[in-house]
Amino acid sequence: MENHPPVRVERRPVSEEESRRANGPDWDRYADEYQATHGEFLGDVGFVWGPEGLTEARAGILGDLAGRDVLEVGSGAGQCSRWVRAQGGRAYGLDLSFRQLQHSRRIDLDTELPVPSVLGTATALPFRDDSFDVVFSSFGALQFVSDIDVAVAETARVLRSGGRYAFSITHPTRWMFPDDPGEEGLTASQSYWDRTPYVEIDDATGVVAYVEHHRTLGDWVALLAGHGFVITDLLEPEWPEGHERVWGGWSGVRGRLTPGTAIFGARLD
Ligand SMILES: C[S@@+](CC[C@H](N)C(=O)[O-])C[C@H]1O[C@@H](n2cnc3c(N)ncnc32)[C@H](O)[C@@H]1O
């Protein structure tokens, strides 16, 4: 929820098409600032699961990656996939934002570790059935998607039997609090169970400019189980001692008291 044109905020239902039409251009507008602000923390060849800085090297949620076919959904500038490539995995990126993919290409050239990537959306993966051993998203795509049932079904379709799925999202309990890294962000002000999307409307045009969708922890369990996944992990990284980074609504002030990130791991049965 950073760097948007002057907007007004509403809570209202938003379709998948409207979400996509808003969030693609929003990420195009925001990509340069996002990479300038967070690129160093992410690392050109680096896999962090969220603002707490938990790396996949430490979490090990994806298992052995060498020789595996891997898809990152909402890959942004491909930092995570590039790290997977460095571990010997055949990682591919998919993202809704052309500008994010241009950053990915820039880093490909700088590092000489290219991540083949495609412009697309999580709800219509342009791959054959049973194409991948691992699918993951590090804060990519999922909370921007309205048709989450379709996105999880698409993941199950392109994964091989026994394949791994893992993703990080804003911890669902954060939905109750204002998106504020300071003390203000510690007082619950809305219902955890209210799934009505967060919508920003461009003041000048009246067009939906940004959307975020919310699911409870129970919703995620039901979604994964409903598509044939066995949940293997739910990590809630603690805020590390001495970590003073502020990233949107994530900060030490909140992170020392409440979880900011949830990382689900699952296996397709
Ligand atoms: C917070 S970034 C995460 C990217 C990367 N993992 C990182 O840490 O920088 C979210 C990404 O999801 C992408 N995204 C949003 N909606 C999407 C959708 N429906 N399908 C695929 N990608 C989407 C955005 O364009 C953006 O690059």
- pLDDT tens column, 151-208: 999 999 999 999 999 999 999 999 999 999 999 999 999 999 999 999 999 999 999 9
Ligand 1 atom nearest the C-alpha of 122 is: 20
Please say if the pLDDT value at position 131 is more than 90: yes
CA of 19 to the centre of ligand 1 (A): 13
- Ligand 1, closest atom to CA 31? 27
The CA distances from residue 190 to 11, 94, 167, 232, 244, in Å, are 11, 33, 25, 30, 27
Query: What is the 8-class DSSP label of residue 3?
Result: S
Residues 98-123, mean pLDDT to the nearest whole number: 98
> Predicted confidence band at 3 (pLDDT cuts at 50, 70, 90)?
low
Q: Please name the residue whose Cα sits nearest to atom 23 of ligand 1.
A: 141
- Cα–Cα dist 194/172, whole Å: 11
Q: Distance of CA 211 to CAs 16, 45, 103, 139, 145, Å?
A: 10, 29, 23, 14, 9
Of the residues 100, 167, 245, which should be mutated to test ligand 1's pocket, given the most ligand atoms within 8 Å of the CB?
100
Mean pLDDT for all residues in the chain: 97
Separation of alpha carbons 250 and 240, rounded Å: 12
β-bridge pairing 159-170 and 132-138 = parallel
Pocket of ligand 1 (CB under 6 A): 20, 23, 27, 42, 73-74, 76, 80, 94-97, 100, 121-122, 138-141, 144-145
Those residues whose C-beta lies under 8 Å from the C-beta of residue 112, and which sit 6 or more positions away, are none
- Spelled out in words, what is the top-level CATH class assigned to the domain 7-268? alpha beta
Considering only residues 126 and 4, tell me which one the structure prediction assigns the higher pLDDT.
126
For ligand 1, atom 10, the nearest C-alpha belongs to 140
For residue 236, give the amino acid letter.
E
Q: State the pLDDT at residue 1.
A: 43
Residue nearest to atom 27 of ligand 1 (CA): 76
Nearest CA to ligand 1 atom 14: 141
How, if at all, do strands 90-95 and 117-119 pair? parallel
Mean pLDDT to the nearest integer, 26-46:
98
CA–centroid distance, 76 to ligand 1, in Å, is: 5
* Ligand 1 pocket: which of 30, 33, 48, 75 to mutate (most atoms within 8 A of CB): 75
First vs last C-alpha separation in the chain: 36
Q: pTM of the full predicted structure? A: 0.97
Domain range annotation of the chain? 7-268
Number of alpha carbons in the 13 Å side-chain half-sphere of residue 111: 21
- Ligand 1: atom nearest CA of 100 is 27
Residues 145-171 as b or e (16 or more Cβ within 10 Å = b): bbbbeebbbbbbebbeeebbbbbbbbb
